[in-house]
Amino acid sequence: MKHDGVSVSTVGPVVNHDERLDALLSITGRMDGYLYRCRNDASYTMLYISDGIFTVSGYRPSDFIHNAVRDYVSAIHPDDLPSVYAAVDAALEARRNWNVDYRIVPRAGEPLWVREIGGGVWDKAGELEFLEGFVVDISDRKVVEDLNAQLVLDLKIANEELSAQKREIEVAKQQSDHSANHDALTDLPNRRAFHNELRSVVARCGATGEAAGLLFIDLDRFKEVNDTLGHEAGDALLQRVSSQLRSILRSADFVARLGGDEFAFLFSADTELARQKAVRVAERILERLRIKVPTPNGAIQIGCTVGVAMYPAEAADCDALIALADRLMYIGKKSGRNRLVTASEMAPQQPSSRPRLRKTA
């Protein structure tokens, strides 16, 4: 509290001992609270305090009048004094009333909560002369408020825990979905994801009139790497192959590991450009997958064979497209490997003819 006479708005004019004061004292005497007025001096000399102070604290009003036995500050819980001083000082500075909760230390028993609403009274010169206010017991209300505050806090904590659990579930689901649709070794989409994507692309192309290209890719001499260097070297090679295939992808393209050393590359394009793109992509794949794997007995030259099939020009549905791409890739394997094979290179209407093969250097 301030002692330098800083003025604030007056709670009300000084009243004389008349019928109005008697009525006020009678009303407040029935309440669990008390009125007070103290002088604005160094010890806040108490000029008046109503009988309610005895009901609330067990101290007699005469103990406080003129600070005969104790000053009022001594009844305030020491832990609450800083907040009381701060509330009163701020109110005086802003020329308004203060409203502050704090604990009273009674003559006997546990500290109890009160709420004080008070203000300053000034003389004609504008100097702060008195502090006065009304203090009411809010112990029961404080218990309810504390319970409500704790309930709000508990609910907040529970909501935060639920939100954290929800995020964990979402992350776990994403991880589960990813694991279900991706190859553990290469992190490429797996066979399941490939079939889902193929159905989606074929359905979209059927609606838009675009064409879909499917490239089946099988590594050449992969078994030789496994047999010579072991499966760890084979796994490392598959990861390197996957990285090379990703480097060819455009945003709308799709590549998957079907299993073992077999991969699939899927795309859609304008009908007139799709076949040229399929051949161009296949040639890039043949080039990127020329990988030399060093061994104690000399390097193993890895390559691949690619079967290229188109929808709807060469296959009417997903199953037919897969079967054709797989057959063309198998033909390339039987014909010397390290090449791409397309259905358009087959001589038409000649049952004994074979697909024309395109071998890369």
**Do 6 and 92 touch, CB atoms closer than 8 A?**
yes
**Do 6 and 93 touch, CB atoms closer than 8 A?**
yes
Residues near 83 by beta carbon (within 8 Å), at least 6 away in sequence: 100, 102
What gap in Å lies between CA 196 and CA 58, rounded to an integer?
82
Token pair, residue 198, equals 């193929």
**Tokens 């590359």 appear where?**
265
DSSP letter string, 180-236: HHB-TTT-SB-HHHHHHHHHHHHHHHHHH--EEEEEEEEEESHHHHHHHH-HHHHHH
Q: Looking at 261, 270, 317, 319, which residue is catalytic? A: 261
Backbone φ, ψ for residue 162 (5° rounding): -65, -40
Active site annotation includes 32: no
HSE-up of residue 206 (Cα within 13 Å, Cβ side): 10
**Do 345 and 361 touch, CB atoms closer than 8 A?**
no
Active site residues: 261
